[in-house]
Amino acid sequence: MMIMLAVLVGCNSTCQQTCRQLVECEGIEHSSTTQNDCEFQCEQQKGLYESWEDQDLQDRHADYRNCVVDSTCVQIGDGACYDEELFAY
């Protein structure tokens, strides 16, 4: 049981999970119109931060993805996950 919990705690939400939540939330503004566009932009952003070897931006991006997946549409719409240091996708 503890091993499973430790594995789950260390996992970050994927771009696919994040974009599914964003696309499913009607009325939420994001720069992509489709799931595929959103995932592409998310992966590009993630890759950019990795290529820069910027751990702070990598962590912030992961925190953003986790927040979106863990939040309701109302919370997302109210800006609960907004991080001005990240580019919107």
What's the structural domain count of the chain?
Answer: 1
> Which two structure tokens, joined as six digits, stand for 87?
């580019």
- 84, part of any domain: yes
- 21, part of any domain: no
- 64, part of any domain: yes
CA distances from 8 to 11, 12, 17 (A): 5, 9, 15
CA distance 86 to 89: 9
- 13, part of any domain: no
pLDDT tens, residue by residue, 21-75: 999 998 787 667 789 999 999 999 999 999 999 999 999 999 999 999 999 999 9
Q: Residues 43, 32: contact at Cβ < 8 Å?
A: no
**In which domain, by residue range, is 64 found?**
32-89
Q: What is the pLDDT of residue 8?
A: 45
- 82, part of any domain: yes
- 89, part of any domain: yes
- 55, part of any domain: yes
Report, in angstroms and rounded to the nearest whole number, the Rg of the chain calculated over CA atoms: 13
CA distances from 68 to 2, 3, 58 (A): 26, 26, 16
- 8, part of any domain: no
